[in-house]
Amino acid sequence: MRHTTTDSTDRVDDQPETTGTPVAPVTAELLGDVDELGELAWADPSTLVLEVNTRTDAHLDPHFCASIRDRGVREPINVYRRAADGALVVRKGQRRTLAAVKAGLARVRVLVEPQTPATDAAEAFTDPAQAQRVAEAERIIDQLGENQHRAGISDADEVAAHQQLLGLGMTAWQIARTTRTPAKRVRQTTAVARSARALEIGSCHELDLVQMAVIAEFADDDTAVEQLTETALTRPGQLAHQAQRLRDERADRARCTAVEDQLRASGVTVLSRDDDRLDTASSIARLRPTADDPQGTDLTEQAHRDCPGHAATVMTRWDFEQAGRIAQPVWMCLAPIEHGHAELYDRSQPGITTTAPVGETDEQRQAREDREREAARQERRTVIANNKAWDSAQIVRRDWLRELFTRKAAPKGAAIFVAAEIARGDHDLRRAMESRNALAATLLGLGAASPRGVYGLHSGPTHPIAEAAGTSNAARATMLSLAVVLAAYEDGTHRNSWRNPSPATRRYITQLREWGYDLSDVEQLVITDQTGATETTPRDATVPDPTTEADSAENGGVTDSAGEAAAEDQTADTTEPDTAATGTAATAEGGTETTAEAAANSEAAANG
């Protein structure tokens, strides 16, 4: 073999001293003969002739072509010289050759092999037809072997390599640029590279890059890491959902912490979820100032400020005006009886009667009421957990839709689905059409569509989806149509969908599952109608959580803040006496809160 940079006369004692195995001298015998090993040469890639190849799609992705353009063809292309005209024919390296041509390289390294399958077969067989068949079989076997028996670098190995590059002073942008790796992937690899724990777990359990990146995101939370690792190993399709729930919980804790710091700065006693004083504390929304005050007299926060037991715990809730979650205090009294307060309503109020079994003793009545209260509390907690889980699932679902809409082709059966849904003309689809389907434009990355004017008329700019359709091919137009329909049904979902789904929502969620979307547990309720099932609840779900919401607008009247849960568990029933018939109870804001059963109707109305 001919070499342009190797001098066979170099002596071994001319080499640098090493502490390892001695390097053998390079001799003519080791180099071999060009007639045996072939000739290493430069060649213009545009002059190379492509042999028939088992690979029908070279898959010249932009990153591969950019790498070839920047760094050249590092591994020589195997060629042989055609006897008829002397042309160089590619045996191995079709993809590298095409990428070099596309990148405009003037020359590439080639290894000109001395023998070809046809030459070998002609020497072994006298029958030309048989020799041709053998040569063709050898070509196919070689090409299959080259591509099938090739192990790509693992995600953990790639992360380790990027970790070394970071250690050598390269930035994530430089790594993406020089290795021609998608920026999103490098952001993930470098995030994992900075987390020794995530890399260790990923290497140990052979996790993929996405899974390791999620674990790296929560590397400072031992419980979260354990949960995510278990999910990645046992229910990998649920990892995105669990990670989003953890993100939302973390964001809620941060909101609560900010409000708690403000309260402490102003001198207010703040009760955390593990504060023992919650055992005897009560929400002032369940109290009246004194026993002498008429029942139903509110104990306001301002009036309670001078009470020695004045305190607060913090909850989160959805705020429709801000279109997001906020944290707010739930005002408490640490020792309501000691400080002279009384229950907002006495259960023994004269004239109030409740339906009870005939012959029921006082002890039996008390036990029944306790069971009913506990069942109501559990139902409220189920609703709260599933409502929050639905919020998290919505983020994951819409991210999945965004990715779906970037694909070149719509999923199988998309045209049939679109035609059927247009023919049905359900309310969600009609409403979206009449309001210019802003969510569809957003999920497609086309910007928000301007709203219609008076009486539904629109005289503004052309709808961005209509503009995109005007320059689309048939495949893209099908995807745009699918986006219009799916976004309409997505926009029609709400927090009540998991327990009272419409037929359209059932069809929508079912179709997403058939196209590869992994349903969360709460989304599964939409299509299984298992309304008694409970979404995976936050950690320590049995412990009252000060970050759980207590707003009727958010939860359909469901309340379960730490303070109120403590009040429910530790004090006499402070519910208004006639709530046995009306199904209402005092809320943290001094109004009324519906039970979980009535909440379904109120929340459905709130969600349109």
pLDDT in tens, 485-510: 999 999 999 999 999 999 999 999 99
pLDDT in tens, 567-597: 333 333 333 333 333 333 333 333 333 333 3
- Residue of 603, 500, 480 lying closest to 551 (CA atoms): 603
Q: Which residues of 191-218 are buried (b: 16+ CB within 10 A; e: fewer)?
A: bbbebebbbebbbeeebebbbbbbbbbb
CA atoms within 13 A on the CB side of 528: 13
Rounded average pLDDT over 508-524: 97
- Supply the mean pLDDT for the chain: 79
Cα 231 from chain centre = 13
Higher pLDDT, 56 or 23: 56
What whole-number distance in Å separates Cα of residue 235 and Cα of residue 240?
A: 10
pLDDT over threshold 70, residue 121: no
Decide which of 115 and 353 is more confident: 115
Q: What average pLDDT does range 334-338 have in this prediction?
A: 93
Helices (H) and strands (E) in the chain, counts: 26, 13
Length, in residues, of the chain? 608
Q: Hunting for tokens 């004239």 — which residue is that? A: 351
Parse the chain into domains and list their residue ranges: 34-148, 155-234, 412-514
Q: What is the Cβ-side half-sphere exposure of residue 456, based on CA atoms within 13 angstroms?
A: 7
- d(C-alpha 103, C-alpha 8), whole Å: 35
Tokens 């073999």 belong to residue? 1
Per-residue model confidence as pLDDT tens digits over 428-467: 999 999 988 999 999 999 977 666 544 445 556 788 999 9
What pLDDT score does 3 carry? 43
How confident is the model over 305-313, as a mean pLDDT? 95
Per the structure block, which two tokens stand in for 20? 């390892």
Q: How far apart are the first and last CA of the chain?
A: 78
Lowest mean pLDDT among 114-128, 176-190, 262-276, 378-392: 114-128
Signed CA dihedral, 471, 475, 476, 482: sign only:
positive
Fold of 34-148: 3.90.1530
pLDDT of the residue at 452: 57
Taking the model in full, what pTM does it have? 0.69
Residue located via tokens 């490098």: 186
Q: What is the mean pLDDT of residues 402-417?
A: 95
Q: Name the nearest CA neighbour of 24 among 37, 11, 6.
A: 11
The answer for residues whose C-beta is within 8 angstroms of residue 214's C-beta and 6 or more apart is 228, 232, 239, 240, 243
Q: What's the pLDDT at 300? A: 94
Helix segments in 463-529, DSSP class H: 464-470, 474-491, 503-514, 521-528
Confidence of residue 601 (pLDDT cuts 50, 70, 90): very low
